[in-house]
Amino acid sequence: RVGAAYGFSEYEMYLNGGAAGGGARRLCDVGLRKATNEDGREVARQDAMYWGHDPQETDEGIPLPEDEEKRGMTIYLAQVDSRIVGKVNLQLVNGLGGIYGLGVLPEHRGKGLGRAILVEAIEKLQAAGAARIMLQVEAGNATALNLYTSCGFRATSVMDYWAVE
């Protein structure tokens, strides 16, 4: 009645049990390095690539990872042999760990890196004291849904997003 148009849906998923499956650490050696403000342009570039946003051209629009961390969201760059291959954002609030913005650069996809980043993220959150771990994923992203489900995540709810025109 208000003229809203359906945009997309996201699943909220929770990790069942303690550890993610898949043995990703044995498939490839991915390290997560905490992003600094000097990495802001790389973070913005990857966000634009993964979610179709326009990359910010001015320094004022660049996310500053150190400022994000002060607000509770820690941004990590995923690396293999000191080459950046992706990113992930982690949050821990009252024992609930959140995984957001996980992405693998296109030229590195299909090598098990998404699984390795996910497992590393889960391990970091558990080491920091997360009793439960959740993430959100676009319902139409079959590749990500398959990965998360294969690692022990289960959808618990769906959120529909609408835009008022």
Taking the CB of residue 25, how many other CB atoms lie within 10 A of it? 13
Distance (Å, whole) CA 99 – CA 21: 16
Q: pLDDT tens across 121-139, in order? A: 999 999 999 999 999 999 9
**8 Å CB contact between 16 and 154:** yes
What's the pLDDT tens digit per position in 72-84? Answer: 999 999 999 999 9
Residue type at 85? V
Residue 164 has pLDDT above 60, yes or no: yes
Task: State the Rg of the chain over Cα.
Answer: 16
Is the pLDDT reported for residue 31 higher than 90? yes
B/e letters for 130-164, b = 16+ CB within 10 Å, e = fewer, are beebbbebeeeeeebbebbeebbbeeeeeeeeeee
Res. 23: pLDDT tops 60: no
Q: What is the mean pLDDT of residues 6-29?
A: 73
Residue 24: predicted pLDDT: 44
Which pTM does this prediction carry?
0.86
Mean pLDDT of 148-161: 92
Nearest Cα to 120, choosing from 94, 90, 159? Answer: 90
Q: Is residue 54 predicted with pLDDT exceeding 70?
A: no
Give the list of residues 6+ apart from residue 28 with CB closer than 8 angstroms, or none.
Answer: 80, 111, 112, 113, 116
- Taking phi over 0 as left and psi of -120 to 50 as alpha, with beta for the rest, 77 belongs to beta
- Residue recorded with tokens 């997003």: 161
More confident of the two residues 110 and 2: 110
Arithmetic mean of pLDDT over the chain: 88
For residue 56, the model assigns a pLDDT of 55
Nearest Cα residue to 79 out of 120, 40, 137, 38 = 120
Query: Residue 25 pLDDT more than 60?
Result: no
pLDDT of 83-114, one tens digit each?
999 999 999 999 999 999 999 999 999 999 99
The predicted pLDDT at position 29 comes to 84
Residue 58 above 60 pLDDT? Answer: no
Residue 156 and residue 147: Cα distance in Å, rounded? 16
